[in-house]
Chains A and B, each alone.
Chain A
Amino acid sequence: MKLNPAYAVGLAALVALPFAIRAVFPGSEKYYLHIVIQMLLWAQIYTGWALMGRFGLTSLGHGAFTGIGAYVTVMLWNFAGLTPLIGIPVAIVVAVALALLIGYPSFLQRIRGHYFALLTLAMVEFVRLCIVGLRDFTGGSLGTQPARYGDGISFYAVQFEADRMIAYFVALAVWLAGILVWVRVDRSMDRFALEALGQDEEAAAAVGINVTREKLKITALSAAMCAFGGAIFAQYQMYIGPDTIAGFGVSLNIVFGAVAGGIGVMLGPTIGALFTQLLSEGLRMFFQGSVTLNAMFGSRVLSLDTLIYGVLLVLFIIHMPRGIVGTAMEYWRKHKRGS
């Protein structure tokens, strides 16, 4: 694969970024790195969702896959002593199995659009209920923690949270792997087939595309990526809870983030992660820091940022349906043609 010079520069900048942060914010390096790490991890998950979302396979259930990735990995580590080096692949297999179990019958029965979205919604709720129901193991709705191994830095236990520098490069590698998967799919014949069947399934079958299999393949890949992302996220946070990594809220954040960034282009979901993380973090800091608002609403001010976050996202989706990157590219193209 040829590397575009712009990408090479961008990659170099990403490698240099943590050192720049260390130099510029020596006191609060951990905080800023934490934000960037979260962006990268979510960017990989959003990219995984957009892999199928861009072809009209709108899933509201990917919180189930991130949840399975996180919970299966941590449960195997906490209760069976199985290293996440094996636990993560196992979790991915479980997530893919669920994806196929839901995907196969629905694709065969031609369940599409809203109905497919509802089905995936039921799936994520099912997974959340399982997690809450197994509270003796999972800690129920309070969540639980992976058992800390040694000083919290270990290849064997896939724990790296204690050193933000290492964590950053783990996150960067995970994100990059996601981008490479995207590029592979983007250049394959499968993409062409998926784009066609996203527009007209009957015509796609008529030109010899195995509609069910193409959809299953991309769904499995998407589920695998999100399970992987969920597992790494759990290892980094050193905490898993149904609200942070499984469940409908997570599903929605994934969809919002990816759509806000733009689902049809490689860096769209990544920009979406950047944007949503900055927005929610910025709002949170603004409201916590504002003396006036705190005096008016007291501690209730803390929930105000989520509200405004939601409103902003709604406005965003209405006025920029192609997302930030998609809209920017369209503008660029028009501008170039005009000049």
Chain B
Amino acid sequence: MSMLELHGVCAGYGGFRALNDISMAVEVGESVAVIGANGAGKTTLLRVISGMLPAAAGRLSMEGQDLRTLPAHKVLSTGIAHVPENRHLFPRLTVEQNLRLGAFLPSARARFPERLDYVYGLFPRLKERRLQFAGTMSGGEQQMCAIGRALMSGPKLILLDEPSTGLAPVVVQQVFELVRKIRDDGYTVLIVEQNVTQVLAVVDRAYLLSVGRVEMSGRSADLLASEAVQKTYLGL
């Protein structure tokens, strides 16, 4: 059994169907990317997994536990932490308060100090800014804070939604290095990205999404070498 399993998942907004018959799996300890053009359904996919958007059909489970019946606030307790698109920090709370909210669940509160140390070790910058309002930081720092907040719950699986959006190229590279690092620290990562080359360089496997369907999947090196990816996304 895989950690995260999706079978024939469909979802949409109103009459519009954004995801069609999606089946995929994420194994314990691996990092997986979902790539695709704008509007391919990548963000919708993560929203469905984390319960923000109900699936219209299909099955999805985390470690065998059915996710479809769980409301959004309960998904976190199955071990899934979502770093949403555009970060969604609490702008008028301090960095440390944001991190504290990451450990909001009673089970996570007890381990707050040690996880805070871990996150501050990962992002020394956050420690420097811990009393600053999260909304006043730079994009890169906010992204670090959002990832840090997700780590505070002690998740098994981290969903990253376009962490590189709106960041300077140097910072983007740092974010991808970070993805590699947290995977090496034992977290399972599912990342959605448009930065195809860079993300494929750090993940183990990837799914290529196109207008709501899985068009291709495989090891990242294979995908990177494939004609479909090269033509469509790299312009070669």
Residues of A with Cβ closer than 8 Å to B?
Answer: 189, 192-193, 195-196, 199-200, 202-211
Q: Is the CB of A206 within 8 A of B82?
A: yes
Partner of A199, one of B50, B82, B92: B92
Q: A206-B72, A206-B82 are in contact. Are A196 and B50 (CB under 8 A)?
A: no
Q: Which of B12-52 touch A at CB < 8 Å?
A: 50-52
Q: Is the CB of A199 within 8 A of B91?
A: yes
Q: Which residues of A have CB within 8 Å of B101?
A: 192-193, 196, 204, 207, 209
Residues of B with Cβ closer than 8 Å to A?
Answer: 50-52, 71-74, 76-77, 81-82, 84, 88-93, 97, 100-102, 104-105, 149, 153
What are the nearest 4 A-B pairs in CB distance? A203-B88, A208-B76, A205-B72, A199-B90
Q: A206-B76, A208-B104, A208-B105 are in contact. Are A199 and B84 (CB under 8 A)?
A: no
Q: Which residues of A have CB within 8 Å of B81?
A: 206
- Chain A nearest Cβ from B85, distance in angstroms: 10
> In the assembly, what is the distance between CA of A332 and CA of B78, in Å?
46
Q: A196-B101, A202-B84, A202-B88 are in contact. Are A207 and B93 (CB under 8 A)?
A: no
Q: Is the CB of A203 within 8 A of B77?
A: no
Q: Is the CB of B84 within 8 A of A207?
A: no
6 A-B contacts, Cβ less than 8 Å apart? A189-B104, A193-B104, A196-B93, A207-B104, A210-B71, A210-B73
Considering the complex, give the chain B residue whose CB is closest to the CB of A206: B82
Q: Which of A199, A200, A203, A211 has the most CB of B within 10 A?
A: A203
- Chain A nearest Cβ from B131, distance in angstroms: 14
Q: Which residues of B have CB within 8 Å of A203?
A: 84, 88-90
Q: Which of A202, A204, A206, A210 has the most CB of B within 10 A?
A: A206
Q: Is the CB of A206 within 8 A of B88?
A: yes
> In the assembly, what is the distance between CA of A211 and CA of B73, in Å?
8
Q: Is the CB of B104 within 8 A of A209?
A: yes
Q: Is the CB of B50 within 8 A of A206?
A: yes
Considering the complex, give the chain A residue whose CB is closest to the CB of B135: A199
Q: Is the CB of A200 within 8 A of B89?
A: yes
Q: Which residues of B have CB within 8 Å of A206?
A: 50, 52, 72, 76, 81-82, 84, 88
Q: Is the CB of A207 within 8 A of B91?
A: no
Q: A192-B100, A192-B101, A206-B88 are in contact. Are A199 and B93 (CB under 8 A)?
A: yes
Considering the complex, give the chain A residue whose CB is closest to the CB of B82: A206
Q: A192-B101, A202-B84 are in contact. Are A207 and B92 (CB under 8 A)?
A: no
Q: Which residues of B have CB within 8 Å of A192?
A: 97, 100-101, 104
Q: Is the CB of A200 within 8 A of B104?
A: no
> In the assembly, what is the distance between CA of A189 and CA of B71, in Å?
21
Q: Is the CB of B90 within 8 A of A200?
A: yes
> In the assembly, what is the distance between CA of A200 and CA of B85, in Å?
13
- Chain A nearest Cβ from B67, distance in angstroms: 14
> In the assembly, what is the distance between CA of A208 and CA of B71, in Å?
10
Q: Which residues of A have CB within 8 Å of B149?
A: 207
Q: Which residues of A have CB within 8 Å of B105?
A: 207-208
Q: Which of B73, B77, B93 has the most CB of A within 10 A?
A: B73
> In the assembly, what is the distance between CA of A206 and CA of B83, in Å?
8
Partner of B102, one of A195, A202, A207, A211: A207
Considering the complex, give the chain B residue whose CB is closest to the CB of A195: B93
Q: Which residues of A have CB within 8 Å of B82?
A: 206
Considering the complex, give the chain A residue whose CB is closest to the CB of B109: A189
Q: Which residues of A have CB within 8 Å of B73?
A: 205, 208-211
- Chain B nearest Cβ from A330, distance in angstroms: 14
Q: Is the CB of B90 within 8 A of A208?
A: no
Q: Is the CB of A200 within 8 A of B72?
A: no
> In the assembly, what is the distance between CA of A207 and CA of B50, in Å?
11
Q: Which residues of B have CB within 8 Å of A199?
A: 90-93
> In the assembly, what is the distance between CA of A203 and CA of B89, in Å?
7
Considering the complex, give the chain B residue whose CB is closest to the CB of A202: B88
